[in-house]
Amino acid sequence: MDYFITIFSFCIFIVIFLWVGALAAKTSNNTDADYLLGNRSFGKYFIGLSAGATGNSGWIMIGAVGMAYTMGISALLMVIATFLGELTFWTFFPKKVNQISVAQNSQTIPEFLGVPFKKPQAQRVITLIVALIIVVFLGQCH
């Protein structure tokens, strides 16, 4: 009986999760753009919230706490710098990035960076460079 509320809450969550998934499947076009970009139909506030939650979840919950524990009050400098950097980006760049992305029909960051070169080989090189950067930076976390 102790776990009844937990199990009941979990079952309600699963039902709601499946219901939202079924509703989303009805409106899906089953295209790459629909999967990768939501068919470019989300508003700027939803995209900002999603990007903020995705980009900051691990950093805030683990990284910033650990940094504050080891560095003390000086860890606030990183928090302030991160806030100012994100504020600058989200104030000045999203509209231009979106316009260029739509004009180039690019759906991923490697496509966005590689399209100006107009050669498949250059796009492959850009994709490789981006992948290596991601692997190196993720590898530095350990």
Does residue 10 belong to any structural domain of this protein?
Answer: no
Does residue 118 belong to any structural domain of this protein?
Answer: yes
Residue in 48, 81, 47 with CA at minimum distance from that of residue 64:
81
Q: Which two tokens stand for residue 90?
A: 């989200």
Residue in 126, 84, 135 with CA at minimum distance from that of residue 108:
126
Q: Are residues 81 and 112 in the same domain?
A: no
User: Which of the four pLDDT bands, split at 50, 70 and 90, describes residue 1?
Assistant: low
Does residue 76 belong to any structural domain of this protein?
Answer: yes
Provide the sign of the torsion angle of the four alpha carbons 63, 69, 70, 71, taken in this order: positive
User: Domain tally for the chain?
Assistant: 2
The pLDDT tens digits of the residues spanning 93-116 come to 888 888 888 888 888 877 788 777
Residue type at position 10? F
Provide the sign of the torsion angle of the four alpha carbons 105, 108, 113, 117, taken in this order: negative
Residue located via tokens 């989300």: 42
The pLDDT tens digits of the residues spanning 25-43 come to 787 777 777 667 776 777 7
Does residue 87 belong to any structural domain of this protein?
Answer: yes
The pLDDT tens digits of the residues spanning 57-97 come to 777 778 888 889 999 999 899 889 988 988 898 889 888 88
Does residue 1 belong to any structural domain of this protein?
Answer: no
Q: Which domain holds residue 140?
A: 106-142
